[in-house]
Amino acid sequence: MLRELADLVAPVDCVGCGARRAHLCPGCRAEIARAARAGPHLARVCPPPAGLPPVWTLLAYDGAVRQAIVAHKDHGRLALLPLLAGLWRRSLAGAVEGDPVLRAALLERRVVVIPAPSSARAWRERGRDPWEEVVRHALAGESLPVARRALRVRRAVRDQAGLGASARARNLAGALAVTRDLTGCAVVLADDIVTTGATLTEAARAVRAAGAASVHAAVIASTVRRGRPSG
Ligand SMILES: [Zn+2]
């Protein structure tokens, strides 16, 4: 906590390139803005797990945006929160614009936004949920409700890093539970990144089991699969 406070007042280095005296220097901000110019689009998850909702994304999980997400989540760089919130909000806007089912639900005020739970470790070490804070910031002043701590991890799961797609799916199957009734709701699952889709698929299963009428997802970035043909 003291280090986080110190970060707010003392000079720091850019998480993207190491430049002095900026959490994210103008050059790295410009890099992210350039990459985001293409606008939100549906993420290509190959192969998509059965039950994966449509996932809207803004950026490739690479370069400065990757550094910013990791620095905020794992190293407590709170100053990056507004940037991440703005990026996620654009992805959500893409989902609303591109998905007529979600748009109709929004007009009927049936939409609930549910942030993916931060890892148990993040809770233990910092006593807060950094990702939920990003989502709440993104929707501050909006009438769109954010269901806080609606998704619970109900059993121990292994760290997903280093696991392949099928191992991730097995690791997470049945791991999440929803703490409220979602009957008739259109749920937007909010996460920072999508990789294999295992987390969003398990979250979608849990919210459907709680009665959700439709499930949608918005993330900031999706992982780039290098060396594979696109399509
Ligand atoms: Zn930089």
**For residue 177, is pLDDT > 80?**
yes
Ligand 1 mean position, distance from CA 176 (Å)? 37
Pick from 26-35, 81-90, 153-162, 176-185: least confident: 153-162
- Within 127-227, residue ranges assigned H as helices are 130-138, 165-172, 198-209
Phi, psi of 59 (to 5 degrees): -135, 160
By C-alpha distance, which of 119, 138, 137, 115 is closest to 190? 115
The fold of the 39-222 domain, in CATH, is Rossmann fold (3.40.50)
Structure confidence at residue 152 as a pLDDT band (50, 70, 90): confident
**For residue 225, is pLDDT > 80?**
no
Ligand 1 mean position, distance from CA 81 (Å)? 16
How many whole angstroms separate alpha carbon 85 and alpha carbon 90? 9
Ligand 1 mean position, distance from CA 22 (Å)? 8
List, for residues 121-137, the tens digit of each pLDDT value: 655 666 778 899 999 99
Ligand 1 mean position, distance from CA 103 (Å)? 37
**For residue 47, is pLDDT > 80?**
yes
Domain boundaries, the chain: 39-222
